[in-house]
Chains A and B, each alone.
Chain A
Amino acid sequence: MSTTSAPALAAALSEPIEKGNSLWHDAWLRLRKNQLSVFGMIALTVIAFACVIGPVLSAYGYEEQNLDLGASPPSGAHWLGTDTLGRDLLVRLLFGGRVSLAVGLSATFVALTIGVVYGAVAGFFGGKRDAFMMRAVDIMYSLPFPIFVILLMVFFGRNIILLFVAIGAVEWLTMARIVRGQVMAVKKMEFIEAARSLGFGRRRIIFRHILPNIMGPIIVYTTLTIPGVMLLEAFLSFLGLGVQPPMSSWGVLIKDGAEKMEEFWWLLIFPGTVFSLTLFSLNFLGDGLRDALDVRSSKD
């Protein structure tokens, strides 16, 4: 599991925007005016940074127990208190953030890869192949996928790699639809005809000429997929099917907090707040990006 993947999101999103051509520059200027998106970006950067650095700096380990202390409310020694096993909640929260963000980013990457390739192929070739591929997507849309993910997790041990793949395999459908629609629009443009007349291969046209032109919708939808994926991970962990203790993730902490909230409110409030804040920020950032890049997505 990569520990640098969390801030990589911020880096990946800001890099082409700052150095890129005027389209990205314009989008950046527009995005900067959207206060909620800027707030989201800052909050995400702070959270991601804290999750990566925090556990290293902390005096406590994420599974270090202190049974004499037990559950204690927030104090000078433990800023967010401790859980019933005397583990420091702050460290568990930050460490859990690494897991949740890593799941969010990797599963989104899986979904992104499958969705973009599938959608691009369907949209580019069109005709019968497209009709068949998109009908298959329609059918898969109507399957109760979360149920399959639950079954997978119950039956095949709660394996974190399997978790990435299972969630990614569920979330690619919408991406495929969006990419297909965009590819169909772009492929009729003149510069694609020019590329064809120059004798370029189909693969080169798809990956070098079409995809770069539909990066906007892809980036927007990727940003909006991450919260969905993180929610699914937390949902599974909440049911006891995702990440397993003593490992920590935001879903695990919220589950633990919900069980003990009657006596120890801090165990629910802090993880719940940080998780919601992260989803909130990602949603606002995605919305802002959609406005800034002027994408009319089929999502809403």
Chain B
Amino acid sequence: MLRFITSRFLQSLLALFLVISATFFMVRFVPGGPFTAEKAVTPEILRNLEAHYGLNKPLWQQYLDYLGSLLRADLGPSFKYPNRTVNEILLDKLPVSAELGGISLAVALVIGVTLGTLAAVKRNTWVDYVASSFGMIGISIPTFVVGPLLVLAFAIHFGWFNASGWYTAADRVLPALVLGIAYAAPISRLTRGGMLEILHQDYIRTARAKGASETRIVLRHALRGGLLPVVSYLGPAVAGILTGSFVIETIFQIPGVGREFVNSAFNRDYTLVLGTVILYAVLIMALNLVVDIVQAWMNPKVRLEG
């Protein structure tokens, strides 16, 4: 098990290094720099600005400097917000995105697992059909259609919620619901598939023969195995919720990391772009690692294959 974790950890580190390097060189080779938009910058001031941020050094030197400061967990100064560091900006925005992502994931899991389990237990009844159609609809209608539709209905027409903003608890409802439903759909399908397979197993029959109640069989015996496909989907789901939040944060005007990332790319704010990409990559890889470990813990077969 330790060997398994170590090898996955090293693999994540390698991937992280690749992400950092690829992004670093990509942002440097693009046409246009962070200061091109500013009007009336004399060549002299431009030189001073570049010297201030170390942009006049050779590229490899900048790359090594950047890697060095990363080791000290310093993402550097922002180019567009003078006086602010990337660390400050991201720490400012991260709690918002984390809250949105966390609630959405909880919504997705609760709705998805409940519907999927019901569909599997009541296979080929109307419950199954309703739950399965919900899954298909949820997969097919994108968040950027569902989001505006819900705003149109519940914020503008009925006036129950604010159409945008992130101030009161009620402001969390629509964004988290939109993002959560999008991932509840695949989770419900995976749960249904996994549960159907498990409910046919011998050990379930044994439990039945011993007279365990149906609820106990489902909750105690079947769910652990039946949720395996869901656990392996959690990695991609979390990554999707993170990037999905770009759209949600745009629609609902939520001051999170996603919106900042898109803006920073437009502004050519190199360090902020890099910092955001690194933040996302670290989050996604850490979660993937956790998912791998949980999966290994749940399923000895995966653990042994390493």
Complex-state Cα separation, A128 to B14, whole angstroms: 19
CB of B262 within 8 A of CB of A239, answer yes
Chain B stretch 249-286: residues in CB contact (< 8 A) with chain A = 250-251, 261-262, 265-266, 273, 277, 280-281, 284-285
Main secondary structure of the interface of B (DSSP, over half): helix
CB of A258 within 8 A of CB of B265, answer no
CB of B277 within 8 A of CB of A147, answer yes
Q: Chain A, 139-151, contact with B by CB distance < 8 Å: what is the 0/1 string?
A: 1001110111011
Complex-state Cα separation, A116 to B12, whole angstroms: 26
CB of B27 within 8 A of CB of A144, answer no
CB of A154 within 8 A of CB of B265, answer yes
Complex-state Cα separation, A241 to B246, whole angstroms: 12
Known contacts A151-B26, A283-B139; is-contact A144 B239 (Cβ 8 Å): yes
CB of A139 within 8 A of CB of B18, answer yes
CB of B239 within 8 A of CB of A239, answer no
Name the CB-closest residue of B to A265.
B152
Residue with the highest number of chain B CB atoms closer than 10 Å, among A146, A155, A283:
A155
Chain A stretch 225-249: residues in CB contact (< 8 A) with chain B = 227, 231, 234-235, 238-239, 241
Q: Which residue in B152, B273, B277 is a CB contact (below 8 Å) of A261?
A: B152
The total of Cβ contacts below 8 Å across the A-B interface reads 116
Q: Give the Cβ gap from A298 to chain B, nearest Cβ, in Å.
A: 10
CB of B281 within 8 A of CB of A276, answer no
Complex-state Cα separation, A257 to B11, whole angstroms: 43
CB of A139 within 8 A of CB of B250, answer no
Name the CB-closest residue of B to A259.
B148
Q: Tell me how many residues of A have a C-beta within 8 Å of chain B.
A: 39
Main secondary structure of the interface of A (DSSP, over half): helix
CB of B30 within 8 A of CB of A156, answer yes
Known contacts A239-B250, A265-B152, A268-B152; is-contact A300 B190 (Cβ 8 Å): yes
A124 cross-chain contacts in B, Cβ below 8 A: none
CB of A147 within 8 A of CB of B243, answer yes
Q: Give the Cβ gap from A261 to chain B, nearest Cβ, in Å.
A: 5
Q: Chain B, 122-144, contact with A by CB distance < 8 Å: what is the 0/1 string?
A: 00000000000000110111101
Complex-state Cα separation, A156 to B145, whole angstroms: 27
Complex-state Cα separation, A280 to B22, whole angstroms: 36
Q: Chain B, 143-163, contact with A by CB distance < 8 Å: what is the 0/1 string?
A: 011011101100010000000
A284 on the interface (CB 8 Å rule)? yes
CB of A276 within 8 A of CB of B142, answer yes
Q: Give the Cβ gap from B141 to chain A, nearest Cβ, in Å.
A: 4
CB of A268 within 8 A of CB of B149, answer yes
Q: Give the Cβ gap from B128 to chain A, nearest Cβ, in Å.
A: 14
Q: Give the Cβ gap from A40 to chain B, nearest Cβ, in Å.
A: 10
CB of B273 within 8 A of CB of A144, answer no
3 closest A-B pairs by beta carbon, nearest first, are: A155-B30, A258-B148, A280-B140
B94 on the interface (CB 8 Å rule)? no
Chain A stretch 249-281: residues in CB contact (< 8 A) with chain B = 251, 254-255, 257-258, 261-262, 265, 268, 272, 275-276, 279-280
B193 cross-chain contacts in A, Cβ below 8 A: 300
Q: How large is the interface on B (under 10, 10 to 19, 20 to 34, 35 or more residues)?
A: 35 or more
B112 on the interface (CB 8 Å rule)? no
Q: A262-B152, A276-B142 are in contact. List 16 more A-B contacts (CB 8 A).
A: A139-B11, A139-B18, A142-B15, A142-B288, A150-B261, A151-B273, A152-B26, A239-B247, A251-B144, A254-B145, A261-B148, A275-B142, A280-B140, A300-B186, A300-B193, A300-B229
Known contacts A235-B142, A280-B140, A283-B136; is-contact A144 B243 (Cβ 8 Å): yes
Known contacts A143-B281, A258-B148; is-contact A231 B142 (Cβ 8 Å): yes
Complex-state Cα separation, A190 to B19, whole angstroms: 43
CB of B19 within 8 A of CB of A276, answer no
A283 cross-chain contacts in B, Cβ below 8 A: 136, 139-140
Name the CB-closest residue of B to A153.
B265
CB of A147 within 8 A of CB of B250, answer no
B156 cross-chain contacts in A, Cβ below 8 A: 261-262
Q: Give the Cβ gap from A96 to chain B, nearest Cβ, in Å.
A: 14
Known contacts A144-B243, A151-B265; is-contact A275 B189 (Cβ 8 Å): no
Q: Which residue in A151, A238, A268, A300 is a CB contact (below 8 Å) of B27?
A: A151
CB of A142 within 8 A of CB of B261, answer no
CB of A143 within 8 A of CB of B148, answer no
Q: Give the Cβ gap from A131 to chain B, nearest Cβ, in Å.
A: 12
Complex-state Cα separation, A253 to B26, whole angstroms: 30
Complex-state Cα separation, A227 to B140, whole angstroms: 8
Complex-state Cα separation, A300 to B26, whole angstroms: 35
CB of B266 within 8 A of CB of A284, answer no
Name the CB-closest residue of A to B280.
A144
Complex-state Cα separation, A280 to B145, whole angstroms: 13
CB of B148 within 8 A of CB of A139, answer no
Complex-state Cα separation, A266 to B152, whole angstroms: 12
Complex-state Cα separation, A227 to B142, whole angstroms: 11
A234 cross-chain contacts in B, Cβ below 8 A: 142, 144
